[in-house]
Amino acid sequence: MRFLLRPLVPLAASAILCWGACLPVRAETLPSPEPRPGSKAEWEARQFFREGRALHRSGRLERAVDLYRRGLQADTGRLEILPYLALALDALGHSQEALEQYDAYLALEPEDLRVRLNQVAAWIHLGAELEALQALREIELSASGLPEFHNLRGVVFLRQEQPARAADDFQVALAMRPGWNAAMVNLASAWREMGRSEEALALLNQAVRESPGTPQAWNNLGVLLARGGDVPAAHKAFSQATETGDLNLAHFNSTLLASRFDGETDLLVQAAELVDRDPDMQESRLLYGALLYRAGRLPEARQELEALLERM
């Protein structure tokens, strides 16, 4: 198994260390709708919507989705629920359904730039870089003054293996919003791809210093430290990532790092937990199968790897 840094959003690859994502897909980016008087059904819809937004902000996405849907059932004309529902669905990994909700909203509100930018993020999460780039071109004249526009376009360029163009956009985003952690982490990704690892490391250290509660920055810092051979510091960074955000990538990277350098006896348990946490994460299943093989548990290793092949 070889080391591979994954740029920003998950890529389909036989990866070892994974490079995470920083995309502006937060419920707070959407405007708070004004209340409106109306029937009992409309009142119920407002209540469901209000409760859903509170749960959304606290990270209880499945429950938020349920309440958003109930709000729409109570009042099918409550258009402002759609982008929140789409945002939650995208965060849960249901990007295709999220795009359908965005389409329904934007068919009636095509000038809502924040929602259109979140729609671009859903295209990126789906792995549809060409569609994302086309959507960005359609709003470039009106959205190029927003740092989120440049951050998202940089993500697309990085996914298309154009790190220099990506770095340009991330730097524009940072000029517009100095100290923005997402753009800093993404710029570090671009610099690493350009061979500017020392600058990337310095930028990530700055990112975690200024925003210590950002798991993505800690995870990516751990990746660079591990590649540089500083195993204790890498372990510490991955630990910070999991403590601040329970990030699956950081759990995976920490377990992988231990398997390469530490020889811990409970690695199989950790790897099995990774598979249970995210059964669709191919890298976790590959690591678990490899550890089973290394432990001499060949039938189990074969079963795990065959299950992985069926999912690919």
Burial class (CB in 10 A: 0-12, 13-18, 19+), 34: exposed
- The pLDDT, as a whole number, for residue 16 is 33
pTM above 0.85, yes or no: no
Mean pLDDT of 94-105: 96
Task: Say which residue, 189 or 309, is predicted with more confidence.
Answer: 189
Mean pLDDT of 281-300: 79
The answer to the question of residue 240 being in a domain is no
The answer to the question of residue 221 being in a domain is no
- The pLDDT, as a whole number, for residue 295 is 74
Question: Token pair for residue 272?
Answer: 């099995």
The answer to the question of residue 63 being in a domain is yes
Nearest alpha carbon to residue 30 among 74, 76, 91? 91
* Start-end of H helices in 261-297: 267-277, 282-294
Q: Is the predicted pLDDT of residue 30 greater than 90, yes or no?
A: no
DSSP letter assigned to residue 260 = I
Task: Say which residue, 285 or 60, is predicted with more confidence.
Answer: 60
Task: Say which residue, 214 or 307, is predicted with more confidence.
Answer: 214
When the pLDDT of each residue in the chain is averaged and rounded to a whole number, the result is 83
CA atoms within 13 A on the CB side of 36: 13
Q: Which residues lie closer than 8 Å to 147 by C-beta, 6 or more apart? A: 172, 173, 174, 176, 177, 180, 183
Task: Say which residue, 184 or 294, is predicted with more confidence.
Answer: 184
Task: Say which residue, 164 or 266, is predicted with more confidence.
Answer: 164
- The pLDDT, as a whole number, for residue 162 is 96
Q: Is the predicted pLDDT of residue 245 greater than 80, yes or no?
A: no
Domain count, the chain: 1
Share of the chain above pLDDT 90, in %: 49
Angle at alpha carbon of residue 254, lines to 152 and 196, rounded to 5°: 50
CATH number at residue 66: 1.25.40.10
33: enclosing H helix or E strand: none
The answer to the question of residue 81 being in a domain is yes
Q: Is the predicted pLDDT of residue 259 greater than 70, yes or no?
A: yes
Cβ atoms 29, 36 nearer than 8 A: no
Q: Can you point out the beta strands (E) in 36-192? A: none
Cβ atoms 206, 193 nearer than 8 A: no
The CA distance from 91 to 174, in Å, is: 24
- The pLDDT, as a whole number, for residue 246 is 64
The answer to the question of residue 24 being in a domain is no
Mean pLDDT of 128-151: 95
Q: Is the predicted pLDDT of residue 282 greater than 60, yes or no?
A: yes
Q: Is the predicted pLDDT of residue 124 greater than 50, yes or no?
A: yes
Q: How confident is the model at residue 20 (pLDDT cuts 50, 70, 90)?
A: low
The answer to the question of residue 133 being in a domain is yes
The answer to the question of residue 95 being in a domain is yes
Domain of 66?
Answer: 31-143
Task: Say which residue, 309 or 187, is predicted with more confidence.
Answer: 187
pLDDT digits (tens, 9 = 90+) for 176-210: 999 999 999 999 999 999 999 999 999 999 999 99
The answer to the question of residue 75 being in a domain is yes
Q: Is the predicted pLDDT of residue 41 greater than 50, yes or no?
A: yes
Cβ atoms 75, 42 nearer than 8 A: yes
Q: Which of 32-36, 131-135, 259-263, 308-312 has the highest mean pLDDT?
A: 131-135
- The pLDDT, as a whole number, for residue 302 is 84
Q: How confident is the model at residue 10 (pLDDT cuts 50, 70, 90)?
A: very low
The CA distance from 188 to 216, in Å, is: 12
